[in-house]
Every structure is written in structure tokens, then in C-alpha cells.
Amino acid sequence: MLQISKTLALSIALGTAAAPALAQGEGTSSSAVTPKMLINAGCANGAVYSIASDAHGNVAAAGYCGDVNGAHTGFVAKADADGTVQWTYRPDSTMRPANLAFDTNGNVLVAGQTTTGAATVGAIIKIGLTGVPAWSRAVEAARGGNESCANVATDADDTVFVSCSSSPAASGSIVAYHADGTAAWRTDAFESAQALFTSSGTLYAASATNVRIVDRATGVVVSDARVSDAGSVRVGQDGKIYVKSDGGAMAVFDGALNAIGSVALNGALGAARSYDYFDVDARGNIYVLGAYYATTDLSGGGQYVAEFGPGGNPLWQYAADPAASFGPRQSPAALNQATGGSLVSVSAAGKSYVSTYLYLLEFPVR
């Protein structure tokens, strides 16, 4: 069942396609931004569902490859800070990875789902430094039916937190494991699968209507903040919580979930642009992956990557020919709804990573 490859893909410098100009007054488009390919899934049909990076600049990607008959095989790959692929792990054919995270020792935690007989159950795997799983656990539905796990996070003592959801009951759970894989606690009090983040010893759980602080030792909700139509949530390296609504506006909270402001990127992006994935570095700079369109009726176009300052001012953008570099454009919103993963990750080591379709790319940090 375990297949490890040391050479999933070489680091390849990509050419830079012409980027559509930013609207007047929004800054200057940069044609000098050249991404570097780190990981290529190596299949013609599939998707990268999630990426993560650690404080040392290591980066991992999880997704699946499909064949012409519709069969899918999941994969997880890890590259070091120099872009050298360290290993590739391919679980058995029933496992579909959805989200991943690094612990403090460089191990990779993968959340997803697997099939046992006629039932679908949640799955969590801890993969060691050589690409060999250290342990795996199945998460059963609390109220019967099927279970899938879409989010995972770790903290400073390598406790593993996994967010799962059940169907058709439409309920959510958070399960915690100690570093050795033994169960710590489980709570089934959530209305849906929660996006999970840890920062400065605090565990945050986010849904479309709430961002909550959850006690790391018991799973009890300590406090929460109501949000409106949250499309994406990230805890930035600056310690602030950023909540993007479906309309594009971004609310900002401090670590105690007090509202402290907002950031408007939509005006900078223009009427024919949208974004679903983002991350925030220690300076408060915001990196986004989104879609641009050839016309205001949202036809044509492709995907772009951009960096904005803390106030939302554009710093640079990269827009590629979908067929030439990023691969066929897929809907970030649909992908985000199907999984809990993020396709943008800024490493504390000063590298920014973006994944789109089948590729993991490294972009400059300015």
C-alpha cells in the first residue's frame, strides 16, 4: 500500500506570462514575478486539495490523481526549503486526502476520508520524516451515517486536532490526539466541519457563521465571535484572525476575537476579479489566489496570484495563461466547499507557496 518516490518532480523555473494591468491608481503590475515549480502531481486528471508549510520553509501538498476510468488515488508529497522533493506517499485507493499540517518536528498530518465496506469514515494519518506513516486513525460518525475529516491543525506540543463532519446528520466534530496517536478528547457539539488553526497556544475553530476559541485540553468552547457569510478564515502570522466574507470584504479580529478593523481588497482587485484562498505573513501582507476574467460578465480569463500590503494596497500580481502554466482553471469556491484545504501558504521562513490544479509553485515574498 505504501509507495514512496524521491523524484516526484524536479524544481523547474517557469516563464512569466503577461499579467493584465491593475486598474489606474492601484499600483503597477509586475512582469518580473517568476514562480518556481516545486511539486507536479504527475497526472493528467486530478487536483491538489491542500498545501502547508512550516517555520523551516518545508512545504507539503495533498490531493489525488485520477485515471480515464474515473478511479482516484490520493497522494501527499513533501519538499524542503530548496525545493527538493523529499518523499511522496500514496495511500490505498480508498483514502482521499483533504487537508494537511506540519507538527514542530517536521512530520506531516493528513486528514481525509476512507471507505470501510459500505461506509465512509474520517481518517487521519501522521507521516514521518522519511515518508512512512507513524500511525493512522479512523473517525467514526457520532450519530451514524458517513464521516469525513476536512481540517487538521497541530500545536506546540504536537497535539493533533481534526475537524470532521457527518452525513446525513449534518453535524460536526473536533477530535484531539496526543503526538503518539492516543485519543485525547472528542466533542460533537458543532453544526458543521470547522476550519482549525492554532496560534500562540490558542485553538481556533471557524465555520460560516462563527469563529470560536476552543479549550485545547477539553474541547469546550471558551468564546466566539459571530461572522457573516464567512468564505475563508486564516490566522495570520501576525496573530490576527482574518475572515473573508462571500462578498470579498475581510474582517480582522485580534487573538481574543475582538473586532479591530477590516481590509478591503475588492476595490484593488477590480470588478472582474475574485479570490477564495489567502494567507497573511508576520508583516500583515496578504497573499491571494483567485480568478480574473476577460470581461465584467465573468467570462474568459484564468487564475492569478497577488500580494497586498496590510492596508490592501497591491504590491505585485502574476497572471498566467491557464493552459500554459497553471493548468485548466477550476473553481476555487467549489474546491473549498468540497474540502477544508487552503491553496496559499506563507512560511515563517519567508517563502510563499501557491497551488493550483496539479502544481505547487513558490512565489517571491517582497
In a domain, 195, yes or no: yes
- Residue type at 45 in one-letter notation: N
In a domain, 126, yes or no: yes
In a domain, 7, yes or no: no
Cβ atoms of 88 and 65 within 8 Å: the answer is no
> How far does the chain reach from its first CA to its final CA, in angstroms?
42
pLDDT of 40: 64
In a domain, 3, yes or no: no
Instruction: Give this prediction's pTM.
Output: 0.82
Q: Find the domain containing 235 and state its range.
A: 12-363
Q: What angle do CA 86, 91, 95 make, to 5 degrees?
A: 135
Residue 351, SS3? coil
CA pair distance 332, 277, nearest whole angstrom: 8
CA pair distance 172, 141, nearest whole angstrom: 9
pLDDT tens by residue, the chain, 366 residues: 223 222 222 222 222 223 333 332 233 344 455 667 666 666 666 677 788 988 888 899 888 777 656 667 888 999 888 888 899 898 877 788 888 999 999 999 999 888 877 788 889 999 999 999 999 998 887 666 788 888 999 999 999 999 988 876 667 889 999 999 999 999 887 777 678 899 889 999 988 788 899 999 999 999 988 876 666 888 999 999 998 876 667 899 999 999 999 998 855 555 556 777 889 999 999 988 877 666 555 555 667 788 888 888 888 777 654 443 333 333 333 333 333 456 788 887 777 888 765 567 777 666
Which residues partner with 136 through β-bridges? 125
In a domain, 149, yes or no: yes
pLDDT of 314: 82
In a domain, 242, yes or no: yes
Number of domains in the chain: 1
β 45-53/160-167 pair status: unpaired
pLDDT of 5: 28
Q: Supply the CATH number for residue 119's domain.
A: 2.120.10.30
CA pair distance 25, 199, nearest whole angstrom: 35
In a domain, 4, yes or no: no
In a domain, 1, yes or no: no
